[in-house]
């Protein structure tokens, strides 16, 4: 069933909230938890559908999982304890599930078939098939797309220089590296999110490396340790944006993940004039977290490109909305990867923002936005993409009249309860 929602313009946004657990960290906690011997308790697991996809796949692979709300108790049988699945694994809409699991499955002595929804079947899997095949896995695919048939085998370590900046690719190779003989090294030209490396360390897996290289010796079993997952920074981004845009805003978001490979959005906002204070900064389970306090701010345009892009890749659609209300030109370049996410996020953002009267131009590798422009309520598509629908819910708050959003259930991929939370915080 699809859910249409109407967003009306608002002036005030006030409150103190906590957010669901980080999606990226939740996937990794489940997967690595499933490779431990013994019980692991995970608190504040993301309730999003993507993470449920990972959980269901792990169950099919013989990992015991007990879920009570956002607390999950997981019991694996060690590094070599996964069992052949009786059914085809379904990664749903989740690229992280498919790509990271493919790394783990490459090291198994059984065969697995994994597929996904219509969007995931259109996303490039060659980027992982290639390095995993170099390590000795036999993977058949539909010309580089899912479904994947993974015939695990005896893997050997490789040194792999990533042609694109992708944490999913890096993590897939590092997970396969746990099952490989010798050492596995990944070299990245631009830093990408490092949750896998941090979690390896937390679970006692030794890693070497310098700035752009990470190396893992094979055969290491993660040690069972409990996790508490911080609030999802990428989910926080929508609420941060809403608060910056509302004339009367005071929002506190407690306990948000503050990993530096995820938070470049905050640095960019500070340069644009955003007033965001960090409080209570701390480190838990190797991941930094903090409380954020946000006030309304007048913003100015900015240029974002190069090595900054992978560090705010998921925040670019909402940055475009902010840019439409900022003074001057915002230029987003070097962001071709946005075209191969859950939707073509450049096209989706440009189409919807234009429909609202935004001054935005599509570029092959980004967008040019000139602001501030008055946005008008419009009828907008979801593009079957959680980040697009949430970004345009925020745009609806600053637009005149009513914004009609179709298929808002797509927000549940990463942030169930988003619309209810936004409704409670914002006032006309």
Number of residues that bind ligand S3P (CB under 6 A): 11
Residue with smaller CB distance to ligand S3P, 193 or 264: 193
Q: How crowded is the C-beta side of 73, counted as CA atoms within 13 Å? A: 4
Cβ proximity to ligand S3P: between 167 and 382 the closer is 167
Per DSSP, the three-state class of 66 is: strand
Query: Closest separation between CB of residue 180 and ligand S3P, Å?
Result: 20
Least distance in Å: CB of 86 to ligand S3P?
27
Total number of residues shown for the chain? 428
Least Å from the CB of residue 124 to ligand S3P: 10
Q: How far is the CB of 165 from ligand S3P (least distance, A)?
A: 7
Integer Cα distance of 242 and 11 in angstroms:
10
CA distances in angstroms from 103 to 5, 116, 124, 150, listed in the order given: 39, 16, 15, 10
C-alpha dist (Å) from residue 294 to 136, 252, 281, 317, 354? 49, 6, 16, 20, 28
Any contact of residue 337 with ligand S3P (CB under 6 A)? yes
Residue 96 in contact with ligand S3P, rule: CB under 6 A: yes
291 binds ligand S3P (CB under 6 A): no
In whole angstroms, how close is the CB of 279 to ligand S3P at the nearest point? Answer: 26
Q: Considering beta carbons, is residue 8 or 336 the nearer one to ligand S3P?
A: 336
**Does 124 engage in binding with ligand S3P (CB under 6 A)?**
no
CA angle 67/70/74 to nearest 5° reads 40
Q: Given 22, 50, 314, 385, which residue is catalytic?
A: 314
The contact pattern for ligand S3P, residues 16-35, with x = CB under 6 A and - = no contact, is --------x-----------
List the alpha helices (DSSP H) in 71-212.
95-105, 126-134, 167-177, 195-202
Q: Closest separation between CB of residue 26 and ligand S3P, Å?
A: 9
Q: 142-171: which residues touch ligand S3P (CB under 6 A)?
A: 166-168, 171
- Pair of tokens at residue 259: 């990993």
C-alpha torsion 259→265→269→272, nearest 10: 140
Q: Which residue number, 171 or 285, has a Cβ lying nearer to ligand S3P?
A: 171
**In the complex with ligand S3P, which residue's Cβ is closer, 234 or 324?**
234
CB nearer to ligand S3P: give 107 or 317: 317
Which residue has the closest beta carbon to ligand S3P? Answer: 24
Beta carbon nearer to ligand S3P, 308 or 314: 314
CB of 43 to ligand S3P, least distance (A): 19
Helices (H) and strands (E) counted in the chain, each on its own, are 12, 26
> Which residue among 192, 297, 408, 426 contacts ligand S3P (CB under 6 A)?
192
Transcribe 225-252 into DSSP letters.
Answer: --EEPPBPHHHHHHHHHHHHHSSEEEEE
Alpha-helical (H) ranges within 195-344 are: 195-202, 233-245, 264-272, 316-324
Q: From residue 169 to residue 188, what is the string marking binding to ligand S3P with x (rule CB under 6 A)?
A: --x-----------------
Interaction of residue 313 with ligand S3P, rule CB under 6 A: yes
Residue 308 is a catalytic residue: no
If one asks whether residue 49 binds ligand S3P (CB under 6 A), the answer comes out as no
Q: Considering only residues 188, 232, 287, 314, which one is a binding residue for ligand S3P as defined by CB under 6 A? A: 314
Choice between 54 and 426, CB closer to ligand S3P: 54
Return d(Cα 425, Cα 421) in angstroms, integer: 6
Shortest spacing between CB 399 and ligand S3P, in angstroms = 27
* Alpha-carbon gap, residue 320 to 248, rounded angstroms: 21
User: Phi, psi (5° rounding) for residue 69?
Assistant: 65, -130
CB of 192 to ligand S3P, least distance (A): 5
Report DSSP letters for 175-193, one per residue: HHHTTEESEEEEE-SS---
Helix, strand, coil: what percent of the chain each, to 5? 35, 30, 35
User: DSSP for 336-400?
Assistant: GGGGGSSS-HHHHHHHHHHHTT-EEEEETTEEEEEE----B--EE--TT-HHHHHHHHHHHHHSB
Q: Which is nearer to ligand S3P, 194 or 370 (CB)?
A: 194
Is 352 a binding residue for ligand S3P by CB under 6 A? The answer is: no
Interaction of residue 193 with ligand S3P, rule CB under 6 A: yes
Site for ligand S3P contains 53 (CB under 6 A): no
Catalytic residue ranges: 314
Binding site for ligand S3P (CB under 6 A): 24, 96, 166-168, 171, 192-193, 313-314, 337
């Amino acid at each position: 069933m699809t859910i249409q929602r109407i967003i009306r313009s608002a002036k005030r946004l006030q409150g103190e909230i906590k957010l669901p657990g980080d999606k990226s960290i939740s996937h990794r906690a489940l997967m690595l938890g499933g490779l431990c011997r013994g019980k692991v308790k995970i608190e504040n697991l993301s309730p999003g559908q993507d993470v449920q996809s990972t959980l269901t796949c792990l169950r099919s692979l013989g990992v015991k999982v007990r879920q009570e709300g956002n607390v999950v108790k997981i019991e694996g049988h060690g590094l070599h304890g996964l069992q052949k699945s009786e059914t085809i694994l379904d990664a749903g809409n989740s690229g992280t599930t498919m790509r990271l699991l493919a790394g783990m499955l490459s090291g198994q002595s059984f065969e697995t078939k994994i597929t996904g929804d219509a969007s995931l079947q259109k996303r490039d899997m060659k980027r992982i098939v290639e390095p995993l095949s170099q390590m000795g896995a036999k993977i058949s695919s539909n010309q580089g797309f899912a479904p994947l048939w993974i015939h695990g085998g005896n893997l050997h370590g490789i040194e792999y220089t990533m042609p694109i900046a992708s944490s999913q690719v890096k993590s897939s190779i590092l997970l396969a590296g746990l099952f490989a003989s010798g050492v596995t090294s990944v070299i990245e030209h631009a830093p990408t999110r490092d949750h896998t490396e941090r979690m390896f360390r937390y679970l006692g897996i030794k890693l070497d490396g310098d700035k752009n290289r990470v190396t893992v010796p094979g055969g290491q079993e993660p040690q069972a340790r409990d996790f508490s997952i911080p609030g999802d920074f990428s989910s926080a981004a929508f609420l941060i944006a809403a608060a910056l845009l509302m004339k009367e805003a005071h929002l506190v978001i407690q306990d948000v993940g503050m990993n530096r490979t995820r938070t470049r959005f905050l640095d960019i906002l500070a340069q644009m004039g955003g007033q965001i204070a960090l409080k209570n900064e701390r480190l838990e389970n190797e991941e930094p977290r903090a409380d954020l306090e946000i006030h309304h701010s007048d913003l100015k345009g900015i240029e974002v490109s190069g090595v900054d892009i992978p560090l705010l890749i998921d925040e670019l659609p909402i940055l475009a909305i902010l840019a439409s209300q900022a003074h001057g030109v915002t230029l987003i370049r070097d962001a071709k990867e946005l075209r191969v996410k859950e939707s073509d996020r450049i096209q989706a953002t440009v189409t919807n923002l234009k429909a609202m009267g935004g001054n935005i131009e599509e570029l092959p590798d980004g967008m040019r936005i000139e602001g501030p422009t008055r946005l008008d309520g419009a009828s907008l598509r979801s593009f079957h993409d959680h980040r697009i629908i949430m970004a345009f819910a925020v745009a609806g708050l600053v637009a005149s009249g009513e914004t009609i959003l179709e298929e808002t259930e797509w927000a549940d991929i990463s942030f169930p309860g988003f619309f209810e939370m936004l409704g409670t915080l914002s006032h006309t």
